[in-house]
Amino acid sequence: MQRLLGGLLDRVLAVAGALLFALLPMFMLQYTQQLAGRAAELGLQLNSLQRIAQDSGKTLHQYILKFTSNNDPDFMQQGALMEKMSQRFSYLSQAEIDIANASPLAKPFVFLQHLDTDIAKTTLNYFQFGIPFSIEGLAYALAGLGFGCLLFYVLSKIMGLITGLWKKIFFIRSHSITG
């Protein structure tokens, strides 16, 4: 019975790992779409600010500096907001480029390097399940299969250690009671 359950559990974990990992390319794609949308919207806002700055004969940086160096707290906060928008646009744009240009082997690491928790939460909220039928999807599924098998191996070793300890404790107690 124990062998049957162990054999079933290893297959369940392997298949679960394969399915879970096969979803990762779809999540990364949907995350990248969220990332691109946010970068595009910030780009539109910054282009509007750029035009306003040009109309007054300034660069965007000079225009923002005019606000941040003002003594009025309202203007300073507005300048700080514009500066944060500019920095966020640069960050999101670079993240989008880096993820898009990453090789299939490097993509999960580049993705994790640029992972933004707010965007990830939104992506999870709107995530559409799907398994890509591509070489990349197959590679992730195989990695998940290996992960599931490794997880079963580690869990079975831990359970073996716990069972061995339990037997030793039970053996010592039973001999101390009878002896």
Euclidean distance between CA atoms 108 and 150, whole angstroms: 20
- On the question of pLDDT at 140 being above 70, the answer is yes
Percent of the chain with pLDDT over 70: 91
**Structural contact between residues 144 and 2, judged by C-beta atoms closer than 8 angstroms:** no
Neighbours of 98 (CB within 10 A): 15
Within the chain, where are the H helices?
A: 2-22, 24-55, 60-68, 73-101, 107-113, 117-125, 135-178
Name the residue ranges covered by the structural domains of the chain.
1-23+134-174, 27-130
Euclidean distance between CA atoms 171 and 179, whole angstroms: 12
pLDDT band at 175 (very low <50, low <70, confident <90, very high): low
Please give the DSSP secondary-structure letter assigned to residue 116: -
Euclidean distance between CA atoms 177 and 62, whole angstroms: 86
Find, among 83, 99, 85, the residue nearest to 35 by Cα: 99
Query: What is the per-residue pLDDT for 39?
Result: 97
Query: What is the per-residue pLDDT for 171?
Result: 66
- On the question of pLDDT at 163 being above 60, the answer is yes
For residue range 84-117, list pLDDT tens digits in order: 999 999 999 999 999 999 998 899 999 999 999 9
Q: What is the mean pLDDT of residues 150-168?
A: 79
**Structural contact between residues 130 and 76, judged by C-beta atoms closer than 8 angstroms:** no
- On the question of pLDDT at 2 being above 80, the answer is no
pLDDT band at 12 (very low <50, low <70, confident <90, very high): confident
* More confident call, 39 vs 160: 39
Tell me the two tokens of residue 49. Answer: 């600010």
For residue range 27-81, list pLDDT tens digits in order: 999 999 999 999 999 999 999 999 999 999 999 999 999 999 999 999 999 999 9
pTM as predicted: 0.73
